[in-house]
Structure 1
């Protein structure tokens, strides 16, 4: 099992959660979560907005458009990407569960509001983008990673997972070819070519 990157078990879990998220209304799915795990309306709006900032709408729908925010709440409640593992030496003020695991959604809300010096969601779109970009740059530095990995790393990975296992992300943003056909060992690539959703070596979720 690869604990640092993508693995088949994580993919199947993510795909199952996404299928559930798309098979019924997000409100019904989130209402089925335990009260202590269910996001508030403000948190749901935040997760949708952050998902949309990570993958905005272009020629295809953005991550927020396809319900990735709701998927993120479900994924965090079920502990995908190790998000229910107890944390060691968590900084003071981080919102931990009784079992020592981090509430990533609450952490994200607190962190973005802290950076915004108020309500992150009340900021203009350009400012929200800049604040999230700064958080992303710190979580994925060009040099050695920080001693305490940022929770944003797991959150961003789950956003990418949710989007690229959706119909929009998997068959429209990526090229979908369930039967590849003949084997070509060397094919030309052109600028702007989309990766194939069936080629997991070409899709890195972190």
Structure 2
């Protein structure tokens, strides 16, 4: 699966544009927040792997996100493909996620049981969906308000850190060898086009 296809798949799952997609496709390095290198510390990479593995755990049919080692991938993509403002939102989000874990269960995320981790991330996913819906509504209203002003440039409102984490987990997983060959069906050199290929409920989607 190429990067453009993977971004399209993630956007479909998330129901909106992927944060940083323009940089993912162009390969640009827009600069960095002063503390972005902290993401590559061993503890933070392990943290990202565990969060990602809670989002995409191992199942009977395929290994999970930690098996694909998406933690380093997430750190690289934040460093190379996010704007400094989005980088800072993501970095601050690590602390916010731990604060949410403490508030809900009295421990840091890494000390929670698998079920506690899942319950926490379900709450955070609902929070980011509500946050993103309001953000998109506010941006649309502001754009409509200035529709007759040719010089108007829309303000970029903050994003939710957990949406970033979830998007990068999905992108990292489905572009990994494990995601493309175990969770999806992969043919290295696809054959002829077949628009009427038989499909049974439960069949894995194609990576290519």
Change (3 A) 1:179 1:150: same
Unaligned runs of 5+ in 1: 14-33, 88-100, 199-206
Please state whether the residue corresponding to 2:76 is helix, strand or coil: helix
Determine the structure 2 residue equivalent to 1:92: none
Asked whether 1:169 is paired with 2:179, we answer yes
More helix by share: 2
Change (3 A) 1:36 1:11: closer
The Cα shift of 1:44 comes to: 1.9
Give unpaired runs (5+ residues) of structure 2: 9-15, 28-33, 136-157
Counterpart in 1 of 2:37?
37
- The structure whose RCO (Cα within 8 Å, separation 6+) is larger is 2
Determine the structure 1 residue equivalent to 2:88. 102
1:146 aligns with 2:147: no
Q: CA deviation at 1:120?
A: 1.7
SS of structure 2 residue aligned to 1:190 = coil
Please say if residues 52 and 63 of structure 1, whose CA atoms lie closer than 8 Å, have aligned partners that are also in contact: yes
CA offsets 1:5-28 (integer angstroms, 9 cap, x no match):
496972685xxxxxxxxxxxxxxx
Decide whether the 8 Å contact of 1:38 with 1:73 is kept in 2.
no
Q: Supply the distance in 2 between the matched residues of 1:156 and 1:130 (Cα, whole angstroms).
A: 15
TM-score by length of 1: 0.66
Give the deviation of 1:127 after TM superposition: 0.7
Give the CA deviation at 1:85. Answer: 4.6
**Alignment pair present for 1:178 and 2:180:** no
Q: Kindly report which structure 2 residues correspond to 1:28-177, keeping only aligned pairs within 5 A, or say none.
A: 36-39=36-39, 40-58=41-59, 59-79=61-81, 83-86=82-85, 101-104=87-90, 106-117=91-102, 118-141=107-130, 145-147=133-135, 148-177=158-187
> 2:142 aligns to what?
none
CA contact (8 A) 2:185 2:205 kept: yes
State the shift of 1:151 in Å.
2.1
Taking the aligned partners of 2:76 and 2:132, their CA distance within structure 1 comes to 31
Which contiguous aligned blocks of 4+ residues in structure 1 show a shift greater than 6 angstroms?
Answer: 6-9
CA contact (8 A) 2:74 2:168 kept: yes
Once residues 201 and 83 of structure 2 are traced to their aligned partners in structure 1, the CA distance between those partners, rounded to angstroms, is: 39
Question: Aligned-pair distance for 1:134?
Answer: 0.8
